[in-house]
Amino acid sequence: MTDYKQLYIGGEWVDPAGSDRFEVVNPATLEVIGSVPEGTKADVDRAVAAARAALETGPWAGATKAERLEVMRSLQAKLLEASDELANLVTDEVGATILFSHFGQIGATNMVLDAYVKVLEEFEFEELRQDILGPAIVRKEPVGVVAGIIPWNVPLFISMLKFAPTLASGSTMVLKPAPDTPLSAFRFAELAQEAGVPAGVLNIVPADREVSEYLVRHPDVDKVSFTGSTAAGRKIGAICGEQLKRCTLELGGKSAAILLDDVDIDGIADELLSAGIMNNGQACVAQTRVLAPQSRYDEIVGVLTEKMAAQVVGDPTDFGTNVGPLINEAQRDRVEGYIQVGADEGARVAVGGGRPGTDQQGWFVEPTLLVDVTNDMRVAQEEIFGPVVSVISYDDVDDAVRIANDSDYGLSGSVWGADVDAALDVARRVRTGTYGVNMYGMAFGSPFGGYKQSGLGRELGPEGLEEFLEYKTINLPAGTEPELKY
């Protein structure tokens, strides 16, 4: 059991204002593995005040780029040192398989921080321009106090997507982890404190929806960076629009993997399905719609059925496990409900569809392949967030692109075929924020985000840092030759 009695605010562990607590349940064993205080509005006020004070006074307010880099590199070292411990913790919290925790959870977290270090090393915060009336300095300054609101599926990775640019920009953060997965956030706070992240730069307040909305609406919060459902994103975006507050929204996805007619299905099936059911299917970028040419549909379905049936379901701490449990009972009910909806709409369950026979008591759903799916079905249009992949047939490449684009979402996607140039032409036509040719993965030095209802703004790369900066133009008298500061 890991029980935290206090909140991390202003560089210290402080008593919460209330007495309620969030219990954390291991989704594989259903055992309570820890608890943390449930934050109140008073705790949010204290955290925002600490973030504001760090932004405006003290060492962080005047930190140079070199000093921010020093803090980030120190945090890198602490995270790398604790990688195994963090991977085990996330597996216990989320139910992610231990292999995915090492690479897709903690490994990816470290890669995000490393990528932002590299961006910051080359980034210039002041630029001299010659204007009509004389020189001008275009300056990029910290956006201010950031509310980072984190989902439960990849908690540390998404925290770092928000906290790394906070550090790089010179901003400060109040981090609100999901009630299901706060333990990793509190351990992250301990490592940040050990790394010398200045007081008030990182503050941790787990909270329910009411208190989370209070954080979003807080007048001293300058920006909200949110990852989660499109429904919650709409509400946050509306609040930020009402207040003219900056926001970045990384929301849902229903991504299509297009299999071209020359694809080597035997050679790519394992990687394709891995991209569809990664993190037990609880990934916004998962390739959950597989678009197969009608001429090869039966062959492709046969291979994918065999491969899906071979996925090992069970103990997520075992390196041989491919699929672990879903995060909680409500999520399992949701996924099972969608499988039934698909069957009711005319899809056929080729493999899976139920609960696996496993010695563990957790919230497991069998990896499921739905075939004979049409793109107007709910299982093809709505994000299921579980280990469910739908196979849809298409007539020709134009039809495949049309189907891929026939979605409210546009977060990721992929195309698979022997002719890379032809696949690249397809990639250019699909309206989505990230895309893979013969793979799907994230490019940590390049922008990540979505079209349409998959969100607003971008994370990662220089573009991700720009989202945490405000532009200022300083006009100077003609003939001035100022010294630029970074």
- Give the pLDDT confidence score for residue 359 in this predicted structure: 78
pLDDT at 105: 97
pTM for this one? 0.96
Give the model's pLDDT for residue 357.
85
pLDDT at 293: 98
User: What percent of the chain has a predicted confidence (pLDDT) above 90?
Assistant: 97
Residue 35 reports pLDDT greater than 90? yes
Q: How confident is the model at residue 328 (pLDDT cuts 50, 70, 90)?
A: very high
For 227, phi and psi rounded to 5 degrees?
Answer: -125, 130
Reported as a pLDDT band with limits 50, 70 and 90, residue 320 is very high
Cα gap 175→48, rounded to integer Å: 10
- Report the pLDDT value the prediction gives residue 137, as an integer from 0 to 100: 96
Give the pLDDT confidence of 132-178 residue by residue, as tens digits. 889 999 999 999 999 999 999 999 999 999 999 999 999 999 999 99
Confidence at 296, pLDDT banded by 50, 70, 90? very high
pLDDT digits (tens, 9 = 90+) for 215-230: 999 999 999 999 999 9
Question: What domains does the chain contain, in order, with CATH numbers?
Answer: 2-251+454-475 (3.40.605.10), 256-437 (3.40.309.10)
Q: How many CA atoms lie within 13 A of 132 on its CB side?
A: 0
pLDDT above 80: residue 239: yes
Q: Whole-number mean pLDDT of the chain?
A: 97
CA dist 269 and 55 (Å) reads: 50
Q: Residue 358: pLDDT above 80?
A: no
Give me the mean pLDDT over the 298-310 stretch: 98
Return the structure tokens found at 409. Answer: 């979402």
Q: What is the b/e burial string over 304-341, where b = at least 16 CB atoms within 10 angstroms of the residue's CB?
A: bbebbeebebbbbbeeebbbbbbbbeebbeebbebbee
In angstroms, the CA 197 to CA 192 distance is 5
How far, in Å, CA of 199 to CA of 60, rounded? 9
Q: What is the CA radius of gyration of the chain?
A: 23
SS3 for the chain, per residue?
A: CEECCCEEECCEEECCCCCCEEEEECCCCCCEEEEEECCCHHHHHHHHHHHHHHHHCHHHHCCCHHHHHHHHHHHHHHHHHCHHHHHHHHHHHHCCCHHHHHHHHHHHHHHHHHHHHHHHHHCCCEEEEECCCCEEEEEEEECCEEEEECCCCCHHHHHHHHHHHHHHHCCEEEEECCCCCCHHHHHHHHHHHHHCCCCCCEEECCCCHHHHHHHHHCCCCCEEEEECCHHHHHHHHHHHHHHCCEEEEECCCCCEEEECCCCCHHHHHHHHHHHHHHHHHCCCCCCCEEEEEHHHHHHHHHHHHHHHHCCCECCCCCCCCCECCCCCHHHHHHHHHHHHHHHHHCCEEEECCCCCCCCCCCCCCCCEEEEEECCCCHHHHCCCCCCEEEEEEECCHHHHHHHHHCCCEECCCEEECCCHHHHHHHHHHCCCCCCEECCCCCCCCCCECCEECCEECCECHHHHHHCCEEEEEEECCCCCCCCCCC
With bands split at pLDDT 50, 70 and 90, how would you rate the model's confidence at 329?
very high
In the sheet with 246-250, reading across from the earlier edge strand, the strands are: 12-14, 7-9, 202-204, 172-176, 145-149, 223-227, 246-250, 455-456
**Using an 8 Å Cβ cutoff, are 186 and 8 in contact?**
yes
pLDDT at 58: 85
Catalytic residue among 250, 366, 466, 467: 250
Contacts of 186-189 with CB under 8 Å at 24 or more apart are 186/4, 186/8, 186/36, 187/82, 187/85, 187/86, 187/89, 188/156, 188/159, 189/8
pLDDT at residue 268 in the model: 98
pLDDT of 132 reads 87
- In this predicted structure, what is the pLDDT of residue 485? 86
Distance, CA of 72 to CA of 248 (rounded, Å): 22
**443: Cβ contacts below 8 Å, ≥ 6 apart:** 434, 460, 461
| Catalytic site residue from 284, 459, 466, 467 | 284
Q: What is the pLDDT of residues 197-212, one digit of tens each?
A: 999 999 999 999 999 9
- Given a contact cutoff of 8 angstroms between Cβ atoms, the answer to whether 368 and 262 are in contact is no
Q: Would you state the structure tokens that stand for residue 160, as one six-digit string? A: 């770092």
Catalytic residue at 284?
yes
| Mean pLDDT, rounded, for 417-427 | 98
Average the pLDDT over 12-22 and give the result.
98
247 is catalytic: no
Q: Using the predicted structure, report yes or no on whether residue 396 has a pLDDT greater than 90.
A: yes
Direct distance between the N- and C-terminal alpha carbons of the chain, in angstroms, rounded to an integer:
45
Judged against a pLDDT cut of 90, whether residue 360 lies above it is answered with no
Q: What is the C-alpha separation between 410 and 250, in angstroms, rounded? A: 11
Residue 119 has pLDDT above 80, yes or no: yes
Mean pLDDT of 373-399: 98
